[in-house]
Amino acid sequence: MADHAEALVAVRRFLSPSCRVVQMAGGALIADFRRARFLGMTTADVHTFVHGSAEERAELADALVRAGCAPARRKEYANAEIGLWLRGVRLLIATVGFGRVLRFLSVAAPDYVRAEPPAAEEVARLKRAVQSLAHTSWFVNDDCKAEAVTAFVLLRRSGLRAVLHVGMREHPFALHAWTSAAGLCIPDADPRGHAFAPILSIDPGGR
């Protein structure tokens, strides 16, 4: 029962605000009241959003896009919105700690992917915005943890593959966080030329 509720949350997050998702005995009903269109989903399809492979999730997501239940274009975040996410994440880390924020990622970063991979230009634009805003904000103050979590969440909420890493170096001891997507890292994985060995990697869905 808990698995089904989790799967419905993933479907609702993907389709919002285009359609409403109503739980049914045999799965779910997708309702687009503006166009008076309705589409049924089986329980198996609903669970694919949480338990299916990346390929299965991508195929189902694309089918919903083709059916007109979800926007075909990925959302492009404005700098103002990216800045709000950065400050919000920084405040959350300061309030509850980085470890707990990592455990919240399964809620903030949905576990589905579009079929097409993230374009390097798309990730590069997000990287420039995140690093510029983090550098000019006295509150964020180039906090790599806030930058990495913000990038991970925004990429995942766009349905793009991304992995959040936490790395360590021994001499002198330091920790560093970054998110990788399309061959790019946000922020840089080796700031100032210092290499960090990954000790934790979080993939789609916050696991």
Tokens read off for 79: 């700098």
pLDDT at 107 over 80: no
| Helices and strands: H and E segment counts in the chain | 7, 7
Give the per-residue pLDDT at 121.
Answer: 87
Higher-pLDDT residue of 204 and 117 is 117
How high is the pLDDT of residue 204?
60
Whether 38 and 29 have beta carbons less than 8 Å apart is answered as yes
Other CB atoms within 10 A of residue 158 CB: 19
Q: How far apart are CA 1 and CA 7, in angstroms?
A: 10
In the DSSP assignment, the letter for residue 61 is: H
Residue 132's pLDDT is 94
Which residue is associated with the tokens 């634009």? 125
The mean pLDDT value of the chain amounts to 82
Give the model's pLDDT for residue 165: 95
User: Which pLDDT does position 131 carry in this prediction?
Assistant: 93
**Higher confidence at residue 8 or residue 177?**
177
> Of the ranges 15-19, 60-64, 134-138, which one carries the lowest mean pLDDT score?
15-19
